């Protein structure tokens, strides 16, 4: 989100810091909700390993992204920041629907989606981020948080959503 905001700020008269409120609504507020759930004992840890406990935090994340998207539209945020929030919200909707039956890796989806978004914005040089995607995927398997199939599916879904929704809405 910060790199997208920075890219959007390259246009004259646009702040490079629009990614900060986007990051707050997409990650900061949902993470605070999850950490509060851990502190109160409703959730076992911030990774929410139990598939059946993921639905409410994911719905909260969707609500946070939606409120953020509306607020940033009203405030006149750049199109690229809005497109990334919309792509992230789309990803949350898909992962929330799938979570009812299967625990697809959201970490892998975000990592792959980030690489796809950065590639849409910065071109082939952003493909240098792919080792970080592989590292995130390896870590989810190594920690026994997901099966290889859950990680691969998450990465594919995240990359496909980012590679279609973000460019379509941002004009990139």
Q: Residue 100, Cα to own-chain centre: how many angstroms?
A: 19
Q: What is the tens place of the pLDDT at every residue in 109-143?
A: 999 999 999 999 999 999 999 999 999 999 999 99
d(CA 21, CA 52): 30
Using CB atoms within 10 Å of the CB of residue 49, give its burial: 0 to 12 exposed, 13 to 18 middle, 19+ buried: middle
- Cβ atoms of 65 and 59 closer than 8 Å: no
At residue 172 the predicted structure's pLDDT band, cuts being 50, 70 and 90, is: confident
d(CA 76, CA 101): 38
Domain of 99 in residue numbering reads as 2-170
How many domains does the chain divide into? 1
- Cβ atoms of 45 and 131 closer than 8 Å: no
At residue 49 the predicted structure's pLDDT band, cuts being 50, 70 and 90, is: confident
Q: What is the tens place of the pLDDT at every residue in 1-31?
A: 999 998 988 887 788 899 999 999 999 999 9
At residue 147 the predicted structure's pLDDT band, cuts being 50, 70 and 90, is: very high
d(CA 78, CA 99): 32
What proportion of the chain, given as a percentage, has pLDDT over 90? 86
């Amino acid at each position: 989100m910060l790199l997208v905001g920075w890219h959007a700020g390259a246009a004259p008269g646009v702040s490079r810091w629009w990614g900060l409120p986007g990051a707050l609504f997409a990650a900061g507020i949902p993470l605070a909700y999850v950490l509060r759930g851990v502190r109160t004992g409703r959730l076992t840890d911030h990774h929410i390993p139990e598939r059946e406990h993921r639905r409410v935090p994911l719905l909260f994340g969707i609500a946070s992204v939606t409120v953020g998207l509306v607020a940033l539209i009203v405030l006149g945020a750049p199109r690229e920041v809005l497109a990334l929030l919309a792509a992230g919200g789309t990803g949350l909707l898909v992962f929330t629907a799938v979570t009812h039956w299967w625990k697809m890796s959201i970490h892998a989806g975000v990592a792959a989606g980030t690489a796809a978004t950065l590639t849409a914005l910065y071109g082939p040089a952003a493909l240098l981020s792919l080792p970080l995607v592989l590292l995130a995927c390896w870590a989810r398997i190594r920690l026994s948080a997901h099966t290889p199939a859950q990680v691969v599916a998450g990465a594919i879904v995240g990359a496909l959503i980012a590679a279609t929704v973000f460019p379509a809405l941002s004009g990139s």
